[in-house]
């Protein structure tokens, strides 16, 4: 495992290279690792004690790492993915086809790889009460895998929907967004429960996207071209009621898996291209106009972003 603690060792290696061949920039794998690790370390320092980093799956050769504070690209990871999430310890989980790859906050190499009994892994979420990791995927019968403590062999469930994304609330209840007979739907696995149950939705929602806890409600992302909304849901028994609908302004194309953090919401989104080549930051839940974007440097035109998460080291 290599994380930011490797910077000192890699600096020593770089010094040896310079001593052998004159004053030269680091080269090869060691040089790339040094550049990435050093950039992340600087971003952590710039963003304050919380060290917030933005991880965007589907770009920069796999996954982009950006400073939340400055919006600048600081590193890249080789693992691509169609879904991404993080836990309260800053660990990042990237859903990649038939596996989930875990990175420590600021780490440059995986610390664990979890195997799925299927393919097309998508949305994921970590239970704040247990550390269990839930992942949406596809196999013959089941479509939700829950890894106890984010490790080992998962317990499998069927959501009853054509599942898209999943999200835990603060009490450890797991919600899944998806299609129910062709219409947007919602399903719940209660904390400690053994099976999902479909929820009725009082009100009209659109194309199912990310589902996540925003501190007060389950936030259901609905995204169609030029029409991106967040539906804040109250859950009572087997019914979900729309408490507030938030329209996200300034996205002319489609939005993809969002993440709520620090009074803001981040969206990967498309505009003039079919692929999502942008990430924007909006106030949440007030929304309004976009606050700012993020700078991907030379990777800008190669992006095909699928999702975003924010990783923060716990306060000490």
Residue 8 reports pLDDT greater than 90: no
When pLDDT is averaged across residues 183-192 and rounded to a whole number, the result is: 97
246 plus 100 within the same structural domain: yes
Run of H or E including 233: strand 227-236
20 plus 105 within the same structural domain: no
Has residue 10 been placed in a domain? yes
Would you give the end-to-end CA distance of the chain in angstroms? Answer: 23
When pLDDT is averaged across residues 275-290 and rounded to a whole number, the result is: 95
Higher pLDDT: 181 or 26? It is: 181
11 plus 63 within the same structural domain: no
What's 292's domain CATH number? 2.120.10.30
223 plus 304 within the same structural domain: yes
159 plus 118 within the same structural domain: yes
82 plus 119 within the same structural domain: yes
**Which of 23-27, 225-229, 261-265 is least confident?**
23-27
Has residue 222 been placed in a domain? yes
pLDDT > 90: percent of the chain = 77
126 plus 13 within the same structural domain: no
Q: Where are the beta strands (DSSP E) in 52-181?
A: 53-59, 62-67, 73-77, 83-86, 92-96, 99-103, 112-115, 124-126, 133-136, 144-147, 155-157, 162-168, 174-180
How many folded domains does the chain comprise? 2
Has residue 35 been placed in a domain? yes
When pLDDT is averaged across residues 108-113 and rounded to a whole number, the result is: 96
Question: Measured between alpha carbons, how far is 174 from 145 in angstroms, rounded to an integer?
Answer: 12
Residue 219, SS3?
strand
When pLDDT is averaged across residues 234-239 and rounded to a whole number, the result is: 96
**Is residue 111 exposed (0-12), middle (13-18) or buried (19+ Cβ within 10 Å)?**
middle
180 plus 166 within the same structural domain: yes
Give the tens place of pLDDT for each residue, 12-32: 333 333 333 333 334 344 445
Give the tens place of pLDDT for each residue, 40-64: 655 554 443 358 999 999 999 999 9
Give the domain extent around 3.
Answer: 1-46
Q: What is the pTM of this model?
A: 0.87
Residue 164 reports pLDDT greater than 90: yes
When pLDDT is averaged across residues 209-238 and rounded to a whole number, the result is: 95
Run of H or E including 183: strand 183-189
């Amino acid at each position: 495992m290599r994380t930011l603690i490797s910077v000192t060792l890699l600096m020593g290696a770089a010094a040896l290279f310079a001593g052998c061949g004159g004053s030269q920039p680091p080269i090869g794998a060691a040089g790339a690792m040094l550049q990435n690790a050093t950039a992340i370390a600087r971003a952590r320092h710039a963003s304050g004690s919380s060290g917030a980093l933005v991880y965007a799956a589907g770009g920069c050769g796999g996954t982009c790492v950006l400073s939340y504070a400055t919006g600048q690209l600081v590193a890249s990871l080789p693992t691509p993915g169609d879904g991404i999430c993080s836990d309260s310890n800053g660990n990042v989980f990237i859903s990649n086809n038939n596996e989930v790859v875990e990175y420590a906050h600021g780490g440059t190499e995986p610390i664990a790889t979890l195997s799925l009994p299927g393919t097309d892994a998508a949305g994921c979420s970590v239970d704040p009460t247990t550390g269990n990791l839930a992942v949406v995927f596809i196999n013959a019968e089941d479509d939700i895998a829950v890894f106890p403590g984010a490790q080992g062999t998962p317990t499998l469930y069927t959501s009853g929907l054509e599942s898209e994304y999943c999200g835990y609330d603060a009490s450890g209840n797991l919600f899944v967004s998806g299609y129910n007979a062709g219409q947007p739907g919602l399903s719940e696995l209660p904390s400690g429960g053994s099976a999902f149950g479909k929820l009725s939705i009082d009100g009209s929602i659109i194309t199912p996207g990310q589902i996540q806890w925003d501190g007060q409600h389950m936030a259901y992302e609905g995204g169609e071209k030029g029409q991106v909304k967040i539906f804040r849901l109250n859950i009572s028994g087997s019914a979900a009621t729309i408490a507030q609908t938030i329209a996200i302004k300034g996205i002319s194309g489609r939005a993809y898996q969002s993440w709520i953090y620090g009074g803001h919401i981040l969206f990967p989104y498309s505009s003039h291209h079919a692929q999502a080549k942008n990430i924007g930051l909006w106030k949440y839940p007030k929304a309004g106009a976009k606050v700012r974007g993020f700078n991907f440097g030379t990777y800008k035109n190669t992006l095909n972003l699928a999702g975003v998460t924010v990783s923060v080291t716990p306060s000490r």
